[in-house]
Amino acid sequence: MLTSRSHIPHVAIFIETSRSYGRGLLRGVRKYLSLKGPWSVFVESRGLQSKPPPWLNNWRGDGILTRTDSQRMSDIIHKVGVPTVELRATRLPIGFPFIGVDNQATGRLVAEHLLDRGFRSFGIYDLDVETYFSQRRETFIEVISEKGHQISVLHASGHRDRPTDWERNQDKLVEWLRSLPKPVGIMACNDQLGFWLLDACRRAEISVPEEVAVVGAEDDETLCEVSIPTMSSVQFNPELIGYEAAVLLESLMSGGGVPAYPQLIPPLGITVRQSSDILAIEDRNLANALNFIRQNACTGITVADVLKSVPISRSSLERKTRDLLGRSPQTEIMRIKIEQVKRLLLVSDATLDVVARRSGFSSAQVLCERFRNEVGMTPGAYRKQVRGDEHPVGCS
């Protein structure tokens, strides 16, 4: 414990800089330090599997933020004996307080995304080696199964060091993809798996997203944008996770107690790219109606406007939309508008008047009322939750 608040805490940070998620965590830590600091910080360019620095064995600092990838690293940190916050879910017996992604929410989000696009055949591609993969997979399966659908599961091999390993595993993936009923929506439990999956689709001459839609997890910009086609992915909230980890470490270094439970931060949503940007619906009138809703919900349209755009009766649209999505056309319009509000609250400092205008609401007051009804909190409270700050937004 720090003996004096005049002492600047010496903190070692072992977070990989090789991935966008790790860099997002570091931005969150930096945000905390800019508001609450200072700390004296050790940080270096590293990968997830980088070795611990030799000096760590005899270090006499005040705290550690880490994403632990090996038992050796865990043992050394325990030996150092300073307050530590773990930011990587793992099956290793780490024993430090944990802050990270809500992986069950991740699996649920992908399942709902693919269901909303009309898919009735599903697959999941994972590595059965880590807790977070299992949590994403099991929740995805649970949500899909509740709707009465079957899921095909393929576990990837983690061994791709030699060219023969790579080719063998891609051949296995091609065989699995060809065996699935089409069209099929597949969750890849992280973006690396999604990248391999899209490569296998090209090898098998399977069209994406018409025959196979793919959604990854982590929204690693490099992998998602380099893949062909570009890959949809779950967008985590690493900056908030990094910020909250710094808050917790500060508390621990000041003598605060260890939390009884892990702190899990839900993902922000799905960044939709070409790999899942499709409606897998045989009824073309219904597909066109839902496409019209998705493209125009935030312009202030009503169900009457939808009916003008497609040759379908109101009763038929109501019935078919409820059968497919489990909600009415009006509820789907409101859902998309609320998602737009969430996105704007996250990525911009726009006033509520501007947010309302860009989301299809007639006024900021109407937006506040509907947002509170739909989300269970005010826009101001939501912005604070997802961004970790209190930028004024009104009706908070």
Q: How far is 96 from 85, CA to CA, in rounded Å?
A: 6
Q: How far is 199 from 197, CA to CA, in rounded Å?
A: 5
pLDDT tens, the chain, 396 aa long: 444 445 899 999 999 998 899 999 999 999 999 998 799 999 999 988 888 899 999 999 999 999 988 888 989 999 999 999 999 987 666 789 999 999 999 999 999 999 999 999 999 999 877 888 999 999 999 999 999 999 999 998 765 566 678 899 999 999 999 999 999 999 999 999 999 999 999 999 999 998 999 999 999 989 999 999 999 999 999 999 999 999 999 999 999 999 989 999 999 999 999 999 988 888 889 988 998 998 899 999 999 999 999 999 999 999 999 988 889 999 999 999 998 998 898 878 889 999 999 999 999 999 999 999 999 999 988 888 887 766 666 665
Helix axes 238-253, 379-387, angle to 10 degrees: 70
Q: How far is 192 from 226, CA to CA, in rounded Å?
A: 11
257: left (phi over 0), alpha (psi -120 to 50) or beta: beta
Amino acid identity of residue 262, one-letter, is P
Q: How far is 194 from 212, CA to CA, in rounded Å?
A: 12
Residue 389: predicted pLDDT: 63
CA dihedral 222, 226, 229, 234 (to 10 degrees): -10
> Cβ(110)–Cβ(267) under 8 Å?
no
CB atoms within 10 A of CB 76: 16
- Provide the H-helix boundaries in the chain: 20-36, 71-80, 103-116, 131-146, 163-179, 191-203, 221-226, 238-253, 284-296, 303-309, 314-325, 329-347, 352-359, 364-375, 379-387
Residue 175: predicted pLDDT: 96
What structural domains and CATH numbers belong to the chain? Answer: 10-101+238-267 (3.40.50.2300), 103-237+270-276 (3.40.50.2300), 284-387 (1.10.10.60)
CA angle, 259 then 244 then 8, to 5°: 95
Side-chain-facing half-sphere of 372: CA atoms under 13 Å? 10
Residue 235: predicted pLDDT: 95
Q: How far is 69 from 279, CA to CA, in rounded Å?
A: 39
Amino acid identity of residue 227, one-letter, is S
Determine if the peptide bond prior to 392 is cis (ω within 30°): no
